[in-house]
Structure 1
Amino acid sequence: MNVISGYVDMVNGFVWGPPMLLLLLGTGLYLTIGLGFMPLRKIGFAFGELLKGRKSEGDGDVTPFQALMTALSSTIGTGNIAGVAVAIAIGGPGALFWMWMTALVGMATKFSEGVLAVKFREVDADGRRVGGPMYYIKNGMGKKWVWLGGLFAFFGVMAGLGTGNAIQTAEVVRTVGDTYGVDYYITGGVIAVLAGMVILGGIKRIASVAEKVVPAMAITYIALGLVVVVMNIEAVPAAFASIFSHAFGFGAAAGGFSGALLMLAMQRGVARGIFSNEAGQGSAPIAHAAAQNNDPVDQGIIAMLGTFIDTIMVCSITGLAILTSGVIPTECDAGLIALGGNVPEVCDTGARITTAAFADALPGFGDHFVTWALALFAFTTILGWSYYGERCAEYLLGEKVIIPFRLAWIGMILGATFLLYAGDNVTQLMNTVWLTTDTLTGLMAAPNLIALLVLSPLVFKMTKAYFDKLEKGAETSDETPSA
């Protein structure tokens, strides 16, 4: 296990090295500038379009609102609870800053993904609207790039089994076991049965569950998280000071500026940011391609809210609750880790750190709330990612693979429960799985980011035409004489 863990760590360090950080942040920044900072200027407008998106006004399988909730069901998961905690424990408070940066420029990335997903989607043999990076690579970049779309789809299937299945299952099973002493296999079995009841019904059933569960659980989590922060309000200024100082490589253990600390904060923040909000990863456009919306730009505007809600709102609440509660173990000193120290096992127990933060502020209730929040977040992620993996598998092997894939996905829940907890060194195994999924996420993002850069002129042109049309419509309305 030590040999495997070391190899995975080495590959992860390469995949999430400076080139990937530059590609992710650079692509997001380029798209943000190219769009004239529209995603940041039009957040209010986007929420208005989201409310309109509850109605069906085009071809597709689910409403625009359901498409976003399906996308959010996969992004609001263990990354928001456990992932944020791990990022801060290992990368320091500065990791939260780089999560924010990833999200702010990621809104333009997610917008562009939504636009291209609807623009280049297809209708499969069963009449479903299918789309995503593999389709806009094939239909937008040309037949000679089909191999790149296939590469994305392959990594999508593999990342789904890890990010969207094994990690989610493992965190729920362990957290429920820690809190209530429930046998791991009982929890895993319940998850498999409930997930099967939804997944076998396809995207319409997944979207129907998501539109009810996701808004309720997100609002409740944010509200309780705010309570925790308010109860520790005196620690808020120090928390923000540590976020900004560590973000730029300044920490007590480093004795001033440390490039290693800066890179550690960036790496953990960007990696966990994309793990959580999936901006640039290319998964969310698979859900948005199914939307009953014939206007690609309008769906893109709705799509970009996923990043804002997931990271700027939900992840920030987790991070501030942890930092103001002061529950990060003393062994998790990001400065010492950056200077060559080993990562203590206690720093990888993300869900336990977040649970401790809520329990400290809300004794007798906080730990139970985080357990149930984690279970719901992870369960909806399993549902959303099953659809992503299914569409990627269909792209590679055709419609005949859909039912076998759904059954295999359900079986993987049970398999993950057994494999992750059959061994003795659970923490090391969990860390290896986290690093593996991080690696797959990076490999999945690369083809998508290339496609976004190549097709960006089309996105800019379509966006300009959309808002020009809105402005002309407003001018015409203003000039119309009143009756």
Structure 2
Amino acid sequence: MHNLNDFLTLIEGFLGGSQWFPILLIGTGLFYTIYLKFPQFRFFKHALKVVTGKYDKPGEKGDASHFQALTTALSGTVGTGNIAGVALAIYLGGPAALFWMLVTAFLGMTTKFVEVTLSHKYRETDEKGFISGGPMYYMKNKLNMKWLAGFFAAMTIFSSFGTGSLPQINSISNSMFATFGFNKMLVGGVLSVLLAFVILGGIKRIAKVTEKLVPAMAIIYFIGALAVIFYNYENIIPSFVSIFTNVFTGTAAVGGFLGAGFSYALTKGVNRGLFSNEAGQGSAPIAHAAARTEEPVSEGMVAILEPFIDTIVICTLTVGNSFFWSLD
């Protein structure tokens, strides 16, 4: 396990922990935001209408509705990334990390708009009639780079352990053990069985489960977080002040001077932002590609809502709770 940890730490140092990573991720989102004239503003209202089914037409090709595609994608982002990921970002990068998480989410709204639109446009139908899509399909069908598509697909499977199953099950089992004393292996086994019943049913069963589970989960968390915030209302203003006053100075644990503090807060904020909303990671477009519509751009508009919901709204509430408890 020590060797595995050392290997993963080495990879993180070259990728997520490097200086080029936040610059590339934010830079890509900034480029498309300017090039497309701020679609996160222009299309936000229309996206709400699309996801409610206002423009749905009977007989359109796909395996899930717009709302089901949205909740399926959110099911992989609303959770550990919004709770444990945010707490870790604040611990490592200080309050300023939230600012960069919000910046990543704002620009990520455009990034998701682009990657989901392309994934939906170049999706395929398999021999059983099910829809298959994702970045690997426009790499293959548009860019004619089959080797890159294969590499991306393999890395998506590999990264799903690091950003999906491993941190999720680790957080759940640790919480159940700390709160109720449940055996961690038993919790993991039960969750694996429940998850298998859902996943083995394919995208249609996944969509049916997530369209009920995700909204309920988000609403319960939203209400609980607001209750904590209003109970500690006197800390609301100090919390916001601490976020923006530390943007360029940083309060990171390793940031002993201006450059280190700013760089560390930026890197950890962007990393946790990606962990929260997956904008630019390429996994969410796989779920969105199954949406029933003949207009790829309409599904891209739906994807704009994702970073707004799971990072700008839910992560901000999480940070507020974290700050209030620490200030008390």
TM range (shorter): over 0.9
**C-alpha offsets along residues 219-269 of structure 1, whole Å, 9 cap, x if unaligned?**
221121111111111111211121112221244989996111111111111
**C-alpha offsets along residues 324-373 of structure 1, whole Å, 9 cap, x if unaligned?**
2217xxxxxxxxxxxxxxxxxxxxxxxxxxxxxxxx9xxxxxxxxxxxxx
CA drift of 1:23 comes to: 1.1
2:186 aligned partner, one-letter code: I
Which residue of 2 is the match for residue 113 of structure 1?
Answer: 115
Distance in 2 between the 1:168 and 1:98 partners?
23
Which residue of 1 is the match for residue 310 of structure 2?
Answer: 310
Which residue of 1 is the match for residue 67 of structure 2?
Answer: 65
**C-alpha offsets along residues 50-101 of structure 1, whole Å, 9 cap, x if unaligned?**
1126956410111111111100111112111111001111111111111100
2:147 aligned partner, one-letter code: W
Q: Which has the larger radius of gyration?
A: 1
CA drift of 1:3 comes to: 5.6
When residues 53 and 311 of structure 1 are mapped into structure 2, their CA distance, relative to the original with a 3 A threshold, is farther
Which residue of 2 is the match for residue 46 of structure 1?
Answer: 47
Which residue of 2 is the match for residue 34 of structure 1?
Answer: 35
Secondary structure, counterpart of 2:101 in structure 1: helix
Distance in 1 between the 2:164 and 2:308 partners?
20
Distance in 1 between the 2:274 and 2:105 partners?
8
Structure that is richer in helix per residue: 1
1:190 aligned partner, one-letter code: V
Q: CA contact under 8 A between 1:40 and 1:104: conserved in structure 2?
A: no
Determine if the alignment matches structure 1 residue 231 to structure 2 residue 224. Answer: no
Give the alignment's TM-score, normalised by structure 2: 0.94
| Match among 130, 135, 138 for residue 136 of structure 1 | 138
The runs of 5 or more residues in structure 2 that have no matched partner are none
Which residue of 1 is the match for residue 14 of structure 2?
Answer: 14
1:278 aligned partner, one-letter code: E
When residues 64 and 88 of structure 1 are mapped into structure 2, their CA distance, relative to the original with a 3 A threshold, is same
CA drift of 1:208 comes to: 0.1
Q: CA contact under 8 A between 1:103 and 1:273: conserved in structure 2?
A: yes
CA drift of 1:7 comes to: 4.5
Q: CA contact under 8 A between 2:123 and 2:131: conserved in structure 1?
A: yes
Q: CA contact under 8 A between 2:96 and 2:251: conserved in structure 1?
A: no
Which residue of 2 is the match for residue 87 of structure 1?
Answer: 89
Q: CA contact under 8 A between 2:111 and 2:280: conserved in structure 1?
A: yes
Which residue of 2 is the match for residue 168 of structure 1?
Answer: 168
Q: CA contact under 8 A between 2:72 and 2:207: conserved in structure 1?
A: yes
Which residue of 1 is the match for residue 127 of structure 2?
Answer: 125
Distance in 2 between the 1:128 and 1:326 partners?
49
Identity of aligned residues (%): 47
Distance in 2 between the 1:86 and 1:253 partners?
12
Per mean C-alpha deviation after superposition, the further-off stretch among 38-47 and 250-259 is 250-259
After superposition, where does 1:244-323 map in structure 2 within 5 Å? 244-251=244-251, 258-323=258-323
Q: With a CA cutoff of 8 Å and minimum separation of 6, indicate the structure with the bigger relative contact order.
A: 2
When residues 183 and 139 of structure 1 are mapped into structure 2, their CA distance, relative to the original with a 3 A threshold, is same
Q: CA contact under 8 A between 1:88 and 1:96: conserved in structure 2?
A: yes
Distance in 2 between the 1:251 and 1:242 partners?
10
CA drift of 1:120 comes to: 0.4
Secondary structure, counterpart of 1:292 in structure 2: coil
1:124 aligned partner, one-letter code: D
1:133 aligned partner, one-letter code: P
When residues 8 and 28 of structure 1 are mapped into structure 2, their CA distance, relative to the original with a 3 A threshold, is same
CA drift of 1:195 comes to: 1.0
CA drift of 1:11 comes to: 2.8
Q: CA contact under 8 A between 1:246 and 1:265: conserved in structure 2?
A: no
Give the alignment's TM-score, normalised by structure 1: 0.65
CA drift of 1:179 comes to: 0.4
Distance in 2 between the 1:160 and 1:255 partners?
31
After superposition, where does 1:433-472 map in structure 2 within 5 Å? none
Q: CA contact under 8 A between 1:54 and 1:64: conserved in structure 2?
A: no
Which residue of 2 is the match for residue 439 of structure 1?
Answer: none
Secondary structure, counterpart of 1:326 in structure 2: helix
Which residue of 1 is the match for residue 326 of structure 2?
Answer: 326
Distance in 2 between the 1:205 and 1:247 partners?
43
Determine if the alignment matches structure 1 residue 76 to structure 2 residue 78. Answer: yes
When residues 36 and 233 of structure 1 are mapped into structure 2, their CA distance, relative to the original with a 3 A threshold, is same
Which residue of 2 is the match for residue 201 of structure 1?
Answer: 201
Distance in 2 between the 1:161 and 1:10 partners?
17
Distance in 1 between the 2:114 and 2:46 partners?
17
Distance in 2 between the 1:298 and 1:314 partners?
24
CA drift of 1:41 comes to: 3.1
Distance in 1 between the 2:162 and 2:319 partners?
24
Distance in 1 between the 2:116 and 2:138 partners?
11
2:131 aligned partner, one-letter code: R
CA drift of 1:281 comes to: 0.3
Which residue of 1 is the match for residue 181 of structure 2?
Answer: 181
1:244 aligned partner, one-letter code: F
When residues 232 and 95 of structure 1 are mapped into structure 2, their CA distance, relative to the original with a 3 A threshold, is same
Distance in 1 between the 2:191 and 2:2 partners?
30
Aligned length: 326
1:105 aligned partner, one-letter code: L
Distance in 1 between the 2:290 and 2:186 partners?
34
Which residue of 2 is the match for residue 153 of structure 1?
Answer: 153
Per mean C-alpha deviation after superposition, the further-off stretch among 201-210 and 155-164 is 155-164
Q: CA contact under 8 A between 1:56 and 1:64: conserved in structure 2?
A: no
Q: CA contact under 8 A between 1:54 and 1:66: conserved in structure 2?
A: no
1:183 aligned partner, one-letter code: N
Secondary structure, counterpart of 2:246 in structure 1: helix
When residues 140 and 235 of structure 1 are mapped into structure 2, their CA distance, relative to the original with a 3 A threshold, is same
1:295 aligned partner, one-letter code: E
After superposition, where does 1:362-381 map in structure 2 within 5 Å? none
